[in-house]
Amino acid sequence: MPHKSWWAAWSVYCQPRVAGMIFLGFSAGLPFLLVFSTLSAWLRDEGIARSIIGFFSWVGVTYSIKVFWAPVIDRLQLPVLSRFFGKRRAWMLLAQLGIASGLVGMAFADVHTQLQQIALLAVFVAFCSATQDVAVDAYRIEAVISEYQGAMAASYVFGYRVALLAAGAGAFYIADYVSWSAAYLVMALLMLVGIVTTLLIREPEHSIDDRVEQLERKLESALGVADRAGFLRRIRKGVADAVLSPFVEFFSRNGRMGIAILLFIAVYRLSDITMGVMANPFYLDLGFSKIEIAEVSKVFGFFMTIAGSAMGGVLVLRYGIMKPLLLGAVMVALTNLLFAGLAAVEADLTLLAVVISADNLSGGIAAAVFIAYLSSLTHSSYTATQYALFSSLMTLPAKLLGGFSGIVVDSQGYQAFFIYAALLGLPAILLVLWLIRCQPRQELANRSQ
């Protein structure tokens, strides 16, 4: 791919669909805290027991299992809505209306007498939110060419981060001055940002791939469900096409490299997610006040993450995906070493700001480029299903490993922990170097299919 000038690369953010992703990102990010930390604060402020609040954290499981209904979103045309808006926009609109209605229901429920109803509504909002994520991810991948995926990811991250501020700090301000019910009503009203955007954008084109149709017929024949006669056989055929075919297609396209790609997806976020678990405890143990942490990590963190995401989108447009992917992996590992250095010196607010800025800048670059990479791995016939699989695999191993972070800190100290977190970035660096080396051969194989 020929390199674009820096001006041409930055101008990608003026593209209507790229700019529109800011508002879809806002719509995707808004419900997240409203069923997590903001909801926990509301319940505790009303005097609900901590043990009960802890059970509400299980709502988050909904986001981790969205891959199970992503095939439905990929295949099912919604009655009436799909005819007027198209497949992706119809699912987005339905999910956004569900989120708004669920938040309204939570706002009018009494915390003390209708706690079970609030729990069920929280699950409903999380389910609709996860559904919206699947539909928005599919739209983002299908709406523009692969060169623009980094910019689409950066715009999405910007909108998502603004939504987190609204659903976090914004909801707290409204609750403090008015009430928690008013806060949730305002958040429901803010879902109009996503609804209006969905109504204004155009549905991306959906092409029919002959190779995929042949693959599905071969799979149906192998499973003995090619004959459509009989209700159960039609059900099995639908499951084969919607659930099994996306996985078969991925490995038929990538061959044995598919295993290495999935392994790379699983380890790319190990370093930064593992470090992030202990970040706030580390700041507190250094002696910084909560206000200092909030001012530096939230304010500096927000703007540097946005700057890093925007830079990641530009780098993808100028240099392709793989080289910026390597840059992101190296930068994330190196910034963990900066935290190790911070642990070895006396607490200094300026130094903390520098290290946090570097961490968020590198994290923003890595996140935008990695989203573009995952998007490039999907096939247009199975966008929602394959991306949902990749995004789940992206965080699960890191979250599981992050659970042991406290043990490492307690036994070895913060400096050793951050060196350990940096070393966790080595597998991703080595794998991306290997994938770069294998890329010409893989592209040649794909063209010959």
Cβ neighbours of residue 393 closer than 8 Å, sequence gap 6 or more: 262, 265, 266
Q: Which helix (H) or strand (E) holds 82?
A: helix 81-85
Nearest 5°: the CA angle 36, 41, 43 is 95
Return the minimum-mean-pLDDT range out of 9-13, 42-46, 186-190, 387-391: 9-13
Domain 6-200 sits in CATH 1.10.3720.10:
no
pLDDT at 444: 47
Residue 199: pLDDT over 50 = yes
Rg (CA), the chain: 23
Q: How far apart are CA 194 and CA 89, in angstroms?
A: 11
Cβ neighbours of residue 329 closer than 8 Å, sequence gap 6 or more: 268, 271, 366, 425, 428, 429, 432
Name, of 87-96, 173-182, 275-284, 313-322, the range with top average pLDDT.
87-96
Q: How far apart are CA 37 and CA 81, in angstroms?
A: 33
User: Who wins on pLDDT, 368 or 228?
Assistant: 368
Residue 210: pLDDT over 80 = no
Residue-wise pLDDT for 254-263, tens only, equals 888 889 999 9
pTM of the prediction?
Answer: 0.81
Residue 287: pLDDT over 70 = yes
Unique residue bearing structure tokens 């008015």: 178
Residue 40: pLDDT over 50 = yes
What CA–CA distances, in Å, run from 448 to 218, 246, 445? 20, 20, 5
Residue 240: pLDDT over 60 = yes
Where in the chain do CATH 1.20.1250.20 domains reside? Answer: 6-200, 255-448
pLDDT at 448: 46
pLDDT at 443: 53
pLDDT at 445: 47
Three-state SS for 112-155 is CCCHHHHHHHHHHHHHHHHHHHHHHHHHHHHHCCHHHHHHHHHH
Q: What is the DSSP letter of 112?
A: T
Residue 283: pLDDT over 60 = yes
Task: Give percent of the chain above pLDDT 70.
Answer: 90
Residue 54: pLDDT over 70 = yes
What CA–CA distances, in Å, run from 100 to 76, 119, 122, 293? 23, 16, 12, 33
- pLDDT classification of 411: cutoffs 50, 70, 90: confident
Mean pLDDT, the chain, whole residue set: 86
Unique residue bearing structure tokens 């993450």: 305
Q: How far apart are CA 209 and CA 220, in angstroms?
A: 17
How long, in residues, is the chain?
449
CATH superfamily of 255-448: MFS general substrate transporter like domains (1.20.1250.20)
